Structure 1
Amino acid sequence: MTVLLGCIADDFTGATDLAGMLVKAGMRTVQLIGVPAGPPPQDVDAIVIALKSRTNPAPEAVEESLAALRWLQQAGCRQFQFKYCSTFDSTARGNIGPVAEALMEALGTDFTIACPAFPANNRTIYKGYLFVGDELLSESGMRNHPLTPMTDANLVRVLQQQVAGKVGLADYKAVGQGAQAIKARFEALKAEGARFAIVDAVTNRDLEEIGAACDDLPMITGGSGIALGLPENFRRRGLLARHDAADALPATGGLRAVISGSCSVATQAQVALMAETAPAFVIDPLQLARGDDVVSAALDWAADRLSRGPVLVYATATPEKVRTVQAHLGVEHAGSLVENALADIARGLVKLGVGQLIVAGGETSGAVVKALGVTGLRIGPEIDPGVPWTTVLKEGGGQPLALALKSGNFGSPDFFVKAWSKLA
């Protein structure tokens, strides 16, 4: 078996997002949690390794990403992608730039692209500026993100602060003319000494052409949208068959629950809508800090309600409430309290018989899959752009657990309500 595409994602929901895009394009794809210890799974075309490195210190993120790359190289992957959020979440020092440069050095390549565009979720790039809908990134809700506030929409400027190599721009003048013009722009940038190209994209067609222009690059970096154009490169070379049932999952059963730790604008709307019709339990970080047994209280509450339909357990709050809690407890302490509590609740819910679980938020998803001992996911049908259902890879069979790991920024307001209809 030859794995064609090896991907390294800097958080768990982002990994699922990317894997879902590859499945939609007909690539049999699995998501592995953390750097694997054993051999690659059989009968897959693409592997996405999910790390929890977005907000780690840069040296840690680099070390873990290089370990993932080495494993993917041993698996025989022909091309690599470093995947990060479509809102380019990072800080002035990283981690996108340092990780990308380390991966480039390890692969012996001196040029790559950076393209976080995802038009299906209203993330577009024009003249190097990242837009969320009609707003600049720096004027969107991301400017208030509690961990990685994005206050500059100019991606050339943002990335240049993080890397030693020169960052250039392949703007829409080239992108709009298709793959060959994009390749020509890449060559011009390399001649000018650029090691990175921010690439404009405003439609899915743009992403397909950009993907085609990257057919000979050992590594690309970007959001999940850039994966739209990669599978066809392998098909043109006769390396990839089209698998029409690439998103097929085994039937799942069990009770249903939603756990939400994200405080993004999108998730706030989703929580509010579900709470109108479903039982909801609010996690208070200040109660956790006082030592109250919130986990047991939540599980006792859920045990009385799960048999009647989905339940919602959430710590989602407005930016103002989040800042108040962070001022009282500290940013890291507040975050870890909530993540650990939600992870313990997830583990308890599964023991209570939950077999179909939605988790909202990248950090929360990372904590939950770790608590559940998940090592891999088979990627299934899409709920909303960037968010598929998955099933946990289990040794020895048994009833599969269905998981939907949702990035905080993704999904329509009725995401939690409609997701169940996508499962067999």
Structure 2
Amino acid sequence: MKVGYIADDLTGSNATAVLLKKLGLQTATVMNGATIPQTLHFDVIGMDLDCRYMHEDIVEKRVREAITELQYWGTELIANRIDSTMRGRIGFITDLLLDAAGKNGIAVISPAFPDSGRKVIGGYLLLHDELLENTSLNRDPMNPVNQSYVPNIVQSQSKNLVAHIGLHEIRLGEENVKKIFQEKIENGCKIIIVDAITNEDIQIVARGMATMNYNCFPVDPGPLTFEFIRAKYFNHNPKINYIFSIGSVSDLTKKQLAYVLEKEQNCEYIYLDPIKLLNPSKAQSIIENAINKAIKQFARKNIFIISTTHPSEANVDLREIAQEQNVSQELIAKKLTTAIANVTTQLILLDPSSVGGVICCGGDVTASLCNFVSADAIKLIEEVESLIAYGELVNGKLDRLPIITKGGLIGNKTTLHQCLRYLQSINTKGIIANES
């Protein structure tokens, strides 16, 4: 696989290169009109044209030279890395790329970058929930931005017909996106602008693009290019299982789990009734029933949530149970997290090679899992988000198992789902469809 993109400034090109490196790709930015190094292996080449404020004649010359260089290198795709606030000659450069893409070329523009506060709603680009013209960009000395409606910005710079697809259409799923794309294309549109306010919106658009019978290419500040490459070039057939081991009972955790259930169809919620778990005569049967339930779903589902917190009922008062049994609340909590660790471990051991990682929510359940599988340590690799760690178990029954750990009060409602996306991204590295 070889993928190229052009960028009108160096920092933008580098930002996209770093983003694509998360897919396990070897990336580089070529500067100053230099040729692509042939002695080193790269999967992705970004061509920095340094042309954001240049005259159209200079822009056209640099773009055409970059296209020629990328085609000589053997690229399968040329994307357009744009400024996330729509500065520069975006429509003009996109037209040049459409010319190079041939009669089946379709440009999909998504200025949205949710992780950086850029959203597109109704065609309007918002920067931290403000219209562009209401921000300091309106006073940019080189290229002041005085409007936020993306279709107008692009159409004023392009000779091609521009269309817009709203958020309500995107939220209906990738098949609907493909249908709307087809309608716009049949009406003569070559440039399609899409709304997006979350990374999930961008993923839907990318998956729709990837299976179209057209030469679609992304025009964006990075996220759409990332998702499009992942959807088009990576093999998603191998079944990889992910397990949430949830010890936290916080309201935030329940909201995070509800969000995962909303977004993921192949998800099985394995509820361990805490009252029955704390009854010595029922505990073992509850654990066995949970494992049997997981086994029955193991071939059909690939995301499993194991928790003593019911998704739709109030939490059990552990203090009351501790008083009834005349033991400490800490001992009660320890029994519950040990049960969660037990079920988690036995589920993983059904097919360890198919498990892409476990996400532990709550410090007690993380410690219980490590103790249950006799892990000596957690090798910390990097931070997923603030106060959320990614690493691998060291030694024990599940040596080198990928693990993400977070506290029950950390993040917002999407955080657990983002942890899942992080593991999925890690597991796509190196699984390139036409090279596997």
TM bucket (normalised to shorter chain) is 0.5 to 0.7
Q: Deviations over 1:40-67 (max 9, x none)?
A: 4533221111110111001211210111
2:184 match: 189
After TM superposition, give the deviation of residue 36 of structure 1 in Å: 2.7
2:147 match: 152
2:160 match: 165
AA matched with 1:32: V
1:50 match: 48
Structure 1: gaps spanning 5 or more residues? 240-380, 386-424
Question: Which of the numbers 98, 108, 112 marks the counterpart of 1:113?
Answer: 108
TM-score between both structures, scaled by the size of structure 2: 0.51
Q: Distance in 2 between matches of 1:120 and 1:29?
A: 21
Question: Which of the numbers 191, 197, 208 marks the counterpart of 2:203?
Answer: 208
Question: In 2 relative to 1, CA 41–152 (structure 1 residues): closer, same or farther, beyond 3 Å?
Answer: farther
2:372 match: none
Q: Is the 8 A contact 1:36 1:71 kept in 2?
A: no
After TM superposition, give the deviation of residue 237 of structure 1 in Å: 5.0
After TM superposition, list the pairs within 5 Å mapping 1:24-423 onto structure 2. Answer: 24-37=22-35, 39-40=37-38, 42-90=40-88, 95-108=89-102, 109-215=104-210, 216=212, 217-236=215-234
Question: In 2 relative to 1, CA 165–384 (structure 1 residues): closer, same or farther, beyond 3 Å?
Answer: farther
Percent of aligned pairs with the same amino acid: 24
- Which secondary structure does the structure 2 equivalent of 1:158 belong to? helix
The answer to whether the aligner puts 1:14 opposite 2:12 as a matched pair is yes
Q: Is the 8 A contact 1:167 1:196 kept in 2?
A: yes
After TM superposition, give the deviation of residue 167 of structure 1 in Å: 0.9
AA matched with 1:58: E
Q: Distance in 2 between matches of 1:25 and 1:107?
A: 25
AA matched with 2:94: A
- Report 1 or 2 for greater relative contact order, CA contacts < 8 Å, sequence distance ≥ 6: 1
Question: In 2 relative to 1, CA 124–195 (structure 1 residues): closer, same or farther, beyond 3 Å?
Answer: same
Question: Structure 1 runs of 4+ off > 4 angstroms?
Answer: 381-385
After TM superposition, give the deviation of residue 185 of structure 1 in Å: 1.2
After TM superposition, give the deviation of residue 189 of structure 1 in Å: 0.8
Q: Is the 8 A contact 2:109 2:191 kept in 1?
A: yes
1:354 match: none
Q: Deviations over 1:285-325 (max 9, x none)?
A: xxxxxxxxxxxxxxxxxxxxxxxxxxxxxxxxxxxxxxxxx
After TM superposition, give the deviation of residue 238 of structure 1 in Å: 8.2
Q: Deviations over 1:166-212 (max 9, x none)?
A: 11101111211222221111111112221111110101111122222
Structure 1 or 2, whichever has the larger Rg, is 2
Q: Distance in 1 between matches of 2:132 and 2:91?
A: 18
2:414 match: none
Structure 2: gaps spanning 5 or more residues? 238-381, 387-436
Q: Distance in 1 between matches of 2:148 and 2:385?
A: 25
Q: Is the 8 A contact 1:211 1:230 kept in 2?
A: yes
- Which secondary structure does the structure 1 equivalent of 2:57 belong to? helix
AA matched with 1:143: N
Question: In 2 relative to 1, CA 97–40 (structure 1 residues): closer, same or farther, beyond 3 Å?
Answer: farther
After TM superposition, give the deviation of residue 235 of structure 1 in Å: 4.1
After TM superposition, give the deviation of residue 13 of structure 1 in Å: 0.7
Question: In 2 relative to 1, CA 32–195 (structure 1 residues): closer, same or farther, beyond 3 Å?
Answer: same
Q: Deviations over 1:365-407 (max 9, x none)?
A: xxxxxxxxxxxxxxxx99999xxxxxxxxxxxxxxxxxxxxxx
- Which secondary structure does the structure 2 equivalent of 1:30 belong to? strand
After TM superposition, give the deviation of residue 151 of structure 1 in Å: 0.7
Q: Is the 8 A contact 2:105 2:217 kept in 1?
A: no
AA matched with 1:117: A
Q: Is the 8 A contact 1:58 1:99 kept in 2?
A: no
Number of residue-to-residue matches in the alignment: 240
RMSD: 2.7
Q: Deviations over 1:246-299 (max 9, x none)?
A: xxxxxxxxxxxxxxxxxxxxxxxxxxxxxxxxxxxxxxxxxxxxxxxxxxxxxx
Q: Distance in 2 between matches of 1:46 and 1:175?
A: 28
Q: Distance in 2 between matches of 1:167 and 1:130?
A: 16
After TM superposition, give the deviation of residue 37 of structure 1 in Å: 2.6
